[in-house]
A and B are shown apart, each in its own frame.
Chain A
Amino acid sequence: MSEIIRWTAAELGARLAAGEVSSVEATQAHLDRIAAVDGDVHAFLHVNEHALDAAAEVDRRRAAGESLGELAGVPLAIKDVLVTTDQPSTSGSKILEGYRSPFDATVVARARAAGLVGIGKTNMDEFAMGSSTEHSAYGPTHNPWDLDRIPGGSGGGSAAAVAAFEAPIALGSDTGGSIRQPAHVTGTVGIKPTYGGVSRYGAIALASSLDQVGPVSRTVLDAGLLHDVIGGHDPKDSTSLPDAWPSFAAAAREGATGQVLKGLKVGVVKELPDSGFQAGVAGSFHAALKLMEAQGAEVVEISAPHFEYGVAAYYLILPAEASSNLAKFDSVRFGLRVTPDGGGTVEDVMSLTREVGFGPEVKRRIILGTYALSAGYYDAYYGSAQKVRTLIQRDFDAAFAQVDVIATPSAPTTAFTLGEKIGDPLQMYLNDLTTIPANLAGVPGISIPSGLAEEDGLPVGIQFLAPAREDARLYRVGAALETLLVDAWGGPLLDRAPVLAEKPVLGGTR
């Protein structure tokens, strides 16, 4: 195993800039790692055959004296929900098997322009519906901490890729926790930016009013560096905010000095009592808060009485929007087409294609959403859910009048075993209990590792939430706590992850 893969993106970027290593070497090291461990982890659906060419191009630009960004030449894993021109984009679904987009997602185009090297497309629950990647049409991803366990979802592939050192950083998307919950169960960092902070153009839509693209990494600084590259206004996405954003990497660097915790008011939600969490998750959460208090932070109990309706509202709004967003997968213009024996009308072909092409969870949510939007039910379901959404936004407004950030455990439990909840959708949905409110309200959230649960030794994450547009605050606070924890642990949490068996890589290239 090359040491290159253990470097953070910031570190690798600095060494690339200093000429200590080339992008081709760094990319090759990660391709080798993928070849060695991904048979077990299955974080990737596709490995980019053009990665080394892209790396060589960055090396050439650097050699020619071009001024390049901090992440130029750094490999990047891309969640398969994002469309790419140089690799297939399936969103984890059979219905898009082999689909090639004629355009790049804005975040992909920005990463490309900044010299990041797309190394592959990562696995996910089909159309980002799930919390375990078990709903991927291409088989589940395995948690690098324990290959029998789920890596979270829907972005389990991106989180596992980063946790398994197959890529230093990755792109994810978060509709109800799909970046933060995988970060929680894999000991990595994930950020859901403010809604509108990062372009959704080219992100295959699940629920348009909830989806947000964001960074996945092993450190808060790396997430900030990637956020700086992908964020900002995009005229192709009407919901993109026109704001000028501060540097999130600078915020992370400032936070790492530790000064930001002094006088920081941290809200803890009264309505999320410890009884709702696995003991080791609650334990790790409180230990982290104590560490912050020791540095001058003040923990304040706040009330968010409507959070408890969040999951119910979410599972009306999401399926409603998804049922409409997924209507385009009809075989007429692209993607899978299944024709009945002996032919049929266009409706027969659409129907059979969708029957064959969508997995059971997708069908479940399309049916739920279609029902929720039906005449006569709209007000009771979709309409009521939107009201809950407003109430949750008000909860946040009231809370942020009192505190600077809100802290919660990132998910109720540590990684569960593959297959454990697949037959019980309601249990699966409850995984996103603490992450969903941020999506409903459009506020940003970060999950960073807070430690290992006592009872099972698996990673636990702590989530911080900030008011809309205050993403930088999350980077400052997250980096501050990260510094304290890494000092306390004597090194990054991932150093304690079991060593993955490496298959020999023949010839060193793929």
Chain B
Amino acid sequence: MSAVKLMDYDKALELFEPVLGFEVHVELNTETKMFSDAPNPANERNHDAEPNTLIAPVDLGLPGSLPVVNATAVRSSISLGLALGCSIAESCRFARKNYFYPDLGKNYQISQYDEPIAFEGSVEVELDDGTLVTIPIERAHMEEDAGKLTHMGGATGRIQGAEYSLVDYNRAGVPLVEIVTKPIFGAEHRAPEIAKAYFATIRDIVRGLGISEARLERGNLRCDANVSLRPRVAPGEPVEPLGTRTETKNVNSMRSVERAVRYEIQRQAAILADGGTITQETRHWHEDTGTTSPGRPKSDADDYRYFPEPDLLPVQPPRELVEELRAALPEQPVARRRRLKADWGFGDIEFQGVVNAGLLDEVEATIAAGTTADAARKWWTGEISRIANEREVDAASLIEPASVAALQQLVDAGTLTDKLARQVLEGVIAGEGTPQQVVDARGLAVVSDDGALIAAIDEALAAQPDVLAKIKDGKVQAAGAVIGAVMKAMKGQADAARVRELILERAAQ
């Protein structure tokens, strides 16, 4: 690939105004697919199924098969629409989007075209420094996913150069909600940050609703980022029309969305500044190189020959259902974060540490199980995160919040020192039982029997007579050497503060 020219980011922002738009596809985690009774691979239970084992006639487009709308998927879509502040259609139809592609069993996709289930909403997103940005939502509509092609025999894994392709129809018919924003103006130099925050907010919302597994690495959430630039004009001059946009497809991590937007701004700015034009196209994101490359040309004139899906009746959600779902909505992520931050009394840095680690739920649950906010935060963002990083797993997958709380309670009760508690944590993570069980099994409790401690102290003082003399002379800090020896003798299972007290007592005698 020839070197792509990029403009310095700040320079690009000086010359151009970036306009953003996002399409996020959310795979719903319903038991069955959007239009068939085949198990849904986007449900946790089925995600590792063998290819082409989760299929029904309609997923393959077999002759005579007919789609039936999944009522649970409709409920999930309404809930999502409501969480995005949208109006819910009183009646909306599905449409057929016609195009030939081998991953599409029927050679049309059942989607919603001019009648989405949810429309006209907005969502507040919070940037790392706490700035709130309102993202306008145009619509959220229901559709089915296509199957998955694996291109074989080529060097790149892409269709170009492949000898043949394998099709897995498990994903065909997975229920999707596609959330489409309106053009986002005014993002300015924070455009990449806003992209990331928006995507993260959508993830938090669908997680909060429990309507998607929301595992980005599995493609449960996929973000298409639209970026266009328009030249800045002097005050008073007419605003330039929107520039030609590119759509970077299927970016599936927060960091990638941020990087992709930044990259496109720099790339487009370089082309425009050189007098070039932007091709309206889809682009692929390359995680390894942090670049995008051209996909297929896309024009607004793409002809999918949409028409109302005659095999399905319009979806007409009863108003009572909509209100029932509205009443059941969980707190919005931004509102929840504000509440938790205040409740916990955290400063910005401490709170963002928890948020950025994605550990809000865990910290909240740990506090609820009976610890202070600070203790919960320290465990999760400290030792547990450290182990998780080491093992390259999610911190949340290592240990239950209740166990963390139980562990901290042992520390609070003086049964464990911090150091001992870390050993117990390892035992719990290794599956050795509850913290108490690990303490018992490993014999890790702090020795609180003064007799045993005094014996150890006397032995240590006897071994270091010069130290004893110094202490008696009032050089109290000399006790440290004795504490170390005693702790060693007690294999760390002693409360150092108590040991110190006892040393001073013995020295005074």
Q: Which residues of B contact A99 (CB under 8 A)?
A: 63
Decide if A237 touches B66 in the complex (CB within 8 Å). Answer: yes
Decide if A236 touches B66 in the complex (CB within 8 Å). Answer: yes
Q: Which residues of B contact A205 (CB under 8 A)?
A: 64, 311
Q: Does B107 contact A (CB under 8 A)?
A: yes
Interface residues of A in 444-469 (CB under 8 A from B): none
Q: Does B67 contact A (CB under 8 A)?
A: yes
Cβ contact of B57, chosen from A103, A208, A237, cutoff 8 A: A103
- The distance in angstroms between the C-alpha atoms of A192 and B165, with both chains bound, is 44
Interface residues of B in 253-312 (CB under 8 A from A): 301, 303, 305-307, 310-312
Decide if A370 touches B63 in the complex (CB within 8 Å). Answer: no
Contacting chain A: which of B75-83, B95-103, B484-492?
A: B95-103
Cβ contact of B106, chosen from A201, A203, A327, cutoff 8 A: A327
- The distance in angstroms between the C-alpha atoms of A243 and B69, with both chains bound, is 19
Q: Which residues of A contact B305 (CB under 8 A)?
A: 323-324, 370, 373-375, 378
Decide if A327 touches B108 in the complex (CB within 8 Å). Answer: yes
Q: Which residues of A contact B310 (CB under 8 A)?
A: 207-209, 239, 321
Q: Does B167 contact A (CB under 8 A)?
A: yes
Q: Does A82 contact B (CB under 8 A)?
A: yes
- The distance in angstroms between the C-alpha atoms of A239 and B311, with both chains bound, is 6
Q: Which residues of A contact B469 (CB under 8 A)?
A: none
Q: Does B61 contact A (CB under 8 A)?
A: yes
- The distance in angstroms between the C-alpha atoms of A197 and B485, with both chains bound, is 91
Give chain A's interface secondary structure class. Answer: loop
**Residue of A whose beta carbon sits closest to that of B307:** A373
Known contacts A239-B313, A347-B100: does B107 contact A328 (CB below 8 Å)?
A: yes
Decide if A375 touches B301 in the complex (CB within 8 Å). Answer: yes
Interface residues of A in 63-79 (CB under 8 A from B): none
Decide if B311 touches A238 in the complex (CB within 8 Å). Answer: yes
Give chain B's interface secondary structure class. Answer: loop
Decide if B64 touches A327 in the complex (CB within 8 Å). Answer: no
**Residue of A whose beta carbon sits closest to that of B68:** A238
In this complex, the interface size class of chain A, counting residues with CB under 8 Å from chain B, is 35 or more
Chain B nearest CB, measured from A374 CB (Å): 6
Q: Does A280 contact B (CB under 8 A)?
A: no
Decide if A203 touches B57 in the complex (CB within 8 Å). Answer: no
Decide if B66 touches A328 in the complex (CB within 8 Å). Answer: no
Contacting chain B: which of A303-311, A330-338, A496-504?
A: A330-338
**Residue of B whose beta carbon sits closest to that of A375:** B303
* Residue from B62, B67, B102 with most neighbouring chain A CB atoms (10 Å): B62
Interface residues of B in 29-69 (CB under 8 A from A): 57, 60-69
**Residue of B whose beta carbon sits closest to that of A234:** B66
Q: Does B116 contact A (CB under 8 A)?
A: no
Q: Does B121 contact A (CB under 8 A)?
A: no
Q: Does B105 contact A (CB under 8 A)?
A: yes
**Residue of A whose beta carbon sits closest to that of B108:** A324
Q: Which residues of A contact B106 (CB under 8 A)?
A: 327-328
Chain A nearest CB, measured from B37 CB (Å): 9
Known contacts A102-B62, A373-B305: does B100 contact A330 (CB below 8 Å)?
A: yes
Chain A nearest CB, measured from B104 CB (Å): 9
Known contacts A324-B307, A333-B105, A374-B305: does B100 contact A238 (CB below 8 Å)?
A: no
Known contacts A330-B100, A382-B307: does B64 contact A235 (CB below 8 Å)?
A: no
Q: Which residues of A contact B312 (CB under 8 A)?
A: 238-239
Chain B nearest CB, measured from A263 CB (Å): 37
Decide if B68 touches A236 in the complex (CB within 8 Å). Answer: yes
Interface residues of A in 217-253 (CB under 8 A from B): 235-239
Q: Does A350 contact B (CB under 8 A)?
A: yes
* Residue from A204, A209, A334, A375 with most neighbouring chain B CB atoms (10 Å): A375
* Residue from A105, A235, A327, A375 with most neighbouring chain B CB atoms (10 Å): A327
**Residue of A whose beta carbon sits closest to that of B303:** A375
Q: Which residues of A contact B68 (CB under 8 A)?
A: 235-236, 238
Q: Which residues of B contact A328 (CB under 8 A)?
A: 61-63, 105-107
**Residue of A whose beta carbon sits closest to that of B167:** A332
- The distance in angstroms between the C-alpha atoms of A209 and B167, with both chains bound, is 31
- The distance in angstroms between the C-alpha atoms of A502 and B250, with both chains bound, is 67
Chain B nearest CB, measured from A322 CB (Å): 11
Known contacts A209-B310, A238-B311, A333-B105: does B64 contact A324 (CB below 8 Å)?
A: no
Decide if A373 touches B98 in the complex (CB within 8 Å). Answer: yes
Interface residues of A in 369-384 (CB under 8 A from B): 370, 373-375, 378, 382
* Residue from B62, B66, B105 with most neighbouring chain A CB atoms (10 Å): B66
* Residue from B63, B96, B108, B167 with most neighbouring chain A CB atoms (10 Å): B63
Q: Which residues of A contact B60 (CB under 8 A)?
A: 333-334
- The distance in angstroms between the C-alpha atoms of A83 and B63, with both chains bound, is 8
- The distance in angstroms between the C-alpha atoms of A333 and B65, with both chains bound, is 14
Known contacts A83-B64, A208-B311, A238-B68: does B57 contact A327 (CB below 8 Å)?
A: no
- The distance in angstroms between the C-alpha atoms of A239 and B102, with both chains bound, is 28
**Residue of A whose beta carbon sits closest to that of B103:** A332
Q: Taking A201-B66, A205-B64 as given, write out 12 further A-B residue pairs in contact, using a Cβ cutoff of 8 Å, ordered by the A residue number.
A: A89-B64, A105-B64, A207-B310, A235-B68, A320-B307, A323-B305, A327-B100, A327-B107, A332-B102, A333-B61, A333-B105, A346-B102
6 contacts between A and B (CB under 8 A): A202-B65, A205-B64, A208-B311, A237-B66, A332-B102, A378-B306
Chain A residues engaging chain B, CB cutoff 8 angstroms: 82-83, 89, 91, 96, 99, 101-103, 105, 200-205, 207-209, 235-239, 320-321, 323-324, 327-328, 330, 332-334, 346-347, 350, 370, 373-375, 378, 382
**8 tightest Cβ-Cβ pairs between the two chains A and B:** A327-B107, A373-B305, A208-B310, A328-B61, A209-B310, A202-B64, A83-B64, A204-B63
